[in-house]
Structure 1
Amino acid sequence: MRRSAGACVLWLSLAGTTSFAQTDTLFVVSQINVKGNKVTKSRIIIRELSLRVGDTISSSRLSKILTRDRQKIYNLKLFNTVAVYAEHPSETSIDITVEVTERWYTFPVPILDLSDRNFNEWWVNYGHDFRRLKYGLRFYQNNFRGRNETLSFMAQFGFTRQFRINYSIPYIDKKQKQGLEFEYNYDEPKNISYFTKDHKILYATAKTTLLHGHSGAITYKYRNTFYDTHYLSAGFFSNRVADTVTKYLNSSYYFDGRDSMSSMYFSYAFESEHRDVVAYPLHGYQFSASLKKTGPGISNAANCWEAEAAYARHWEVKKNLFLSNFSSLHVSFPENQPYALFASLGRSRQIVRGYEIFLIEGPSFAVNKTTLKHKIFSRTWRWEKFFLEQFRHYPVTIYYKVFTDAGYVKNYPYYQERRLNTRLTGKPLWSAGTGIDMVLFYDLALRFEYTFTAEGTHGFFFNIKKEF
């Protein structure tokens, strides 16, 4: 079977396959082989396999297990193609072989990006002003040391100035269940968002730096099963804004007109991932939940609890026709918070399509999104003469889709008392539309959508990421 989006192949080439269909034969796994991994350590791949040497498996279950193992290996995002197959069986044993073609892992990427949440916000709200562009350099070393570690640096200038370093180690123990991640950020923007008016962000711009901030975090990861991962994080942030912001623009940017806030934060998150290809899933489900506590404050009384849960489900209704649904709920308290700690609908998966140009803030909000899509084109090209093997594989899959979203946001008391940002809060949000998704190589997903909303607005929206 073949999925162009994942470019993954399952081969099940067992001698005597006909007899397997007639009788449920038991086999012992005698050997596991890994091929094509020039950089990646074999143990990183073998860790994703359900079977070990010496395990017994029935012929009736073998195909399903190998299919799921292929999906798990592909979801490491280290390979262009993955094949998992059993071969050379005797009457009592089989060999399991994993064959991969590796991706390119070193990416010095020039930054030329928008400072806004999405293309539509930049185009509509800020008049496609090119002065809002960010530029600089990102450097990614994926699969560092062949152990699926990720090392990244960023130096960004332009509308916002930011520096970042991140190092992720998926496994630090022999059983490959525990991992660590480290991150540090430093910010010196000359432009900052200081308030929201009619659900649109207002920015202050100056010739001098308006904010000095740095933050860091360490995350412990525990992946006790193939599909379930726990995250424990501890971090800090320390920010100081120019007094121009708190004296003249928004005295509630931090508490009591102060110009700084420093705090620790702690969080726990759980993720259960059972989808086929995480980059663009068509089958399976995912559940996630998190709890975060910001505070105690160091130089300011930061105190905020945030809880969130989300569930996504994907079905194949019939051949080439797929249905997906995503639901999420976010709750935070106490509801009296400084502007800098406001939560909002309008970021990442927490968005109602058609409302991309709005930032709808509130301590509590919910979203439900449903999409029905039909695969209308799928093909993979091979450019065998290209000098880099990692860029010879070019899958293209196109889906036509229709969708409908719904959401609700409870307004902050600060806004409600002053009758601010009330147009889209405290009422149902709804949208429907149609569009095209293109899934390309290296997990790139392009979304072209035309959406109608309950507010009577409609328009074209473009995004470079999967919907959920």
Structure 2
Amino acid sequence: MLKSSLPFLFFTLISAALNGQSDSSVFVKLVSISGYKHIKVQIISRQLSVHDGDVFVNKKALDDALRFSEQILINTGLLRELEFELIELQKNVFVVYLEVKESWNFYPIPYFNLADRNFNVWWVEQKRALNRVNLGVKLYHRNVLGYADALKITLSDGYNRTYKMEYRFPYLDKAMKWGVFGKLSFQQWREINYDTRENKQLFFRKPDNSFLSNYFLTEAGVTFRPAFQSVHTFFYGFQRRMVDAVISKSLNPDYLLNGDEKQNFSFLRYSYQFDNRDNRFYPLDGYYFQFEAEKAGLITKEDRNAFTIMGLTDIYKALIPGLSLSVGARGKYSFIRNKQPYYDNRALGFSEFTTMRGYEYYLVDGLDLAMLQTTARLLLFQGVNNYGKLVFIDAFRVQPYKVYLTLHSDWGIVNNPFSVENINPLDNKLLWSYGVGINIKLYFDMVARIEYSRNIEKGDGIFLNFNASF
């Protein structure tokens, strides 16, 4: 008797559990999207974690899914505003309305680029020399066909000459997980940073201003996006570099190693990114992780042999409204411990991600790098400027802005086993800096930073930086 009643008891308990869950679960009957013009509606839907027919355990779970979808959509850079509205048709049955306003996607802008590593080096050390400026035009469209496909074309001349084109198509298949990209670049330099002394760049330029170096790069690959926040990228490329004999024979035989005047090699690179930041242009909460591995020189006869891994992670924590803390770590390790060409032996100070605040005027060459950055951000005030018809582009007529007070402290060290004693004193040394600054966020993707920093060598200064998504 007991044995025969067990199945009935089991199904009774399951039924009771399901009935209890259905009382609080919510059903999304329809998701309606409006306001889009150029972007394809399926691109917006791809970023949503709420779709027609979805069932959520309760109303809070639905609200959380909408907040997550808003974060993903804003981080695409394709939308400047969006608003969700929930309409309850009957008890626990909802329609989700999403209204969007697209960002300005096409930027045919004059190209003003400094030849130096950053604005501060050009302004102070190079004394604002106009002959170190590149002028031209940059065409950037981040949504050419409406599929979040981006095209970049740069044509410039001046200190350097640059012809560059890059195209990305992120959604190639019906599942919208695979994408492709390609890049072509040709550059020429009239002046070359041929060596480092006192952790400062040494330059050479011919009296007749003729070109000293030619560089060609071609690169193609595929992307795989299995989830909202993660992207795998696989690169294959080839690069060719030629330098004048005065560089390779006289000034620095290690520029391309062994006094070589040319360098040819192919490379493979893998990159993984996981982005859980609330706003990738100026994050205050969440975290970001990136890992990259590159093998340069795929066959023995090529002119470079290196295998390098690089990683970075940033963690942001909103403590109370208006106050946020962040900790970021960067690292680089070279598995092949042979001496590398001077031009390829980059570590600290050569890019935005490897620049220590307070050391903007310096750079450190080496095989390995470790760096830690900490920042506190306090919102001082915010507002909106409405320029109306004074601005002819609708996307720029309303300008939201926020101003933050920041405190920062950075640590870093570079391992350079081939460093010559007393030549570059920052090699193989623990570095530290701290400072205070003002950050100004304009629209949703432009950030200006004005910072005072002081380093352990007792050097200090005011440093300016500006970043924009285009």
TM (normalized to structure 2)?
0.91
For 1:291-325, what per-residue CA distance to the aligned partner results, in whole angstroms no more than 9, with x for missing partners?
Answer: 10100368643101111111111111112111011
Whole-angstrom distance in 2 between the partners of 1:382 and 1:145? 30
Matching of residues 319-358 of structure 1 within 5 Å:
319-332=321-334, 333-346=336-349, 347-358=351-362
Give the CA deviation at 1:248.
1.5
Amino acid at match of 2:396: F
Amino acid at match of 1:356: E
Aligned-partner SS, 2:298: strand
For 1:34-81, what per-residue CA distance to the aligned partner results, in whole angstroms no more than 9, with x for missing partners?
Answer: 111111100111101112211101212122111111111011101111
Q: 1:115·1:160 contact (CA, 8 Å) conserved in 2? A: yes
Give the CA deviation at 1:92.
4.2
Q: Which runs of 5+ in 2 are unaligned?
A: 1-21
Matching of residues 53-64 of structure 1 within 5 Å:
53-57=52-56, 58-64=58-64
Amino acid at match of 1:45: I
For 1:140-194, what per-residue CA distance to the aligned partner results, in whole angstroms no more than 9, with x for missing partners?
Answer: 1221111111111111100111110000111101111111111000012212221
Amino acid at match of 1:101: K
Amino acid at match of 1:373: R
Aligned residue number for residue 25 of structure 2? 26
Q: 2:450·2:465 contact (CA, 8 Å) conserved in 1? A: yes
Whole-angstrom distance in 2 between the partners of 1:254 and 1:440? 43
Aligned residue number for residue 247 of structure 2? 245
Whole-angstrom distance in 2 between the partners of 1:277 and 1:24? 35
Aligned-partner SS, 1:54: coil
Change (3 A) 1:318 1:284: same
Whole-angstrom distance in 2 between the partners of 1:55 and 1:278? 28
Aligned residue number for residue 148 of structure 1? 148
Amino acid at match of 2:102: E
Q: 1:438·1:447 contact (CA, 8 Å) conserved in 2? A: yes
Aligned residues: 441
Aligned residue number for residue 181 of structure 1? 181
Q: 1:362·1:412 contact (CA, 8 Å) conserved in 2? A: yes
Q: Does 1:114 align with 2:114?
A: yes
Give the CA deviation at 1:219.
2.2
Matching of residues 24-423 of structure 1 within 5 Å:
25-57=24-56, 58-206=58-206, 207-296=209-298, 300-332=302-334, 333-346=336-349, 347-385=351-389, 386-413=391-418, 415-416=419-420, 419-421=422-424, 423=425
Whole-angstrom distance in 2 between the partners of 1:316 and 1:192? 44
Change (3 A) 1:458 1:312: same
Q: 2:267·2:297 contact (CA, 8 Å) conserved in 1? A: yes
For 1:188-241, what per-residue CA distance to the aligned partner results, in whole angstroms no more than 9, with x for missing partners?
Answer: 221222111111112221322211221111121101011111111001101111
For 1:326-356, what per-residue CA distance to the aligned partner results, in whole angstroms no more than 9, with x for missing partners?
Answer: 0111111324111121122112111211001
Aligned-partner SS, 2:143: strand
Aligned-partner SS, 1:82: strand
| Structure 1 counterpart of 2:457, from 451, 455, 458 | 455
Change (3 A) 1:88 1:169: same
For 1:102-141, what per-residue CA distance to the aligned partner results, in whole angstroms no more than 9, with x for missing partners?
Answer: 1221111111221111111112322221210111111112
Whole-angstrom distance in 1 between the partners of 2:240 and 2:417? 24
Amino acid at match of 1:154: T
Q: 1:161·1:189 contact (CA, 8 Å) conserved in 2? A: yes
Whole-angstrom distance in 1 between the partners of 2:302 and 2:179? 32
Give the CA deviation at 1:420.
2.6
Whole-angstrom distance in 2 between the partners of 1:441 and 1:361? 37
Whole-angstrom distance in 2 between the partners of 1:73 and 1:24? 31
Q: 2:357·2:410 contact (CA, 8 Å) conserved in 1? A: yes
Whole-angstrom distance in 1 between the partners of 2:280 and 2:147? 20
Amino acid at match of 1:302: R
Q: 1:199·1:359 contact (CA, 8 Å) conserved in 2? A: yes
For 1:345-394, what per-residue CA distance to the aligned partner results, in whole angstroms no more than 9, with x for missing partners?
Answer: 11211121100111111111111011111101111233444543222220
Q: 1:80·1:393 contact (CA, 8 Å) conserved in 2? A: no
Q: 2:281·2:444 contact (CA, 8 Å) conserved in 1? A: no
Amino acid at match of 1:54: G
Deviation >4 Å, runs of 4+: 297-300
Aligned residue number for residue 4 of structure 2? none
Give the CA deviation at 1:279.
0.3
Aligned-partner SS, 2:168: strand
- Cα RMSD after superposing both structures: 1.7
Amino acid at match of 1:456: K
Aligned residue number for residue 439 of structure 1? 441
Whole-angstrom distance in 1 between the partners of 2:99 and 2:246? 60
Amino acid at match of 2:50: L
Q: Which runs of 5+ in 1 are unaligned?
A: 1-22
Whole-angstrom distance in 1 between the partners of 2:152 and 2:377? 35
Amino acid at match of 1:97: Y
Amino acid at match of 2:125: N
Whole-angstrom distance in 1 between the partners of 2:85 and 2:307? 48
Amino acid at match of 1:310: L
Amino acid at match of 1:391: F
Whole-angstrom distance in 1 between the partners of 2:248 and 2:128? 28
Whole-angstrom distance in 2 between the partners of 1:409 and 1:344? 7
Q: 1:401·1:435 contact (CA, 8 Å) conserved in 2? A: yes
Q: 1:408·1:426 contact (CA, 8 Å) conserved in 2? A: yes
Q: 1:260·1:299 contact (CA, 8 Å) conserved in 2? A: no
Give the CA deviation at 1:91.
2.0
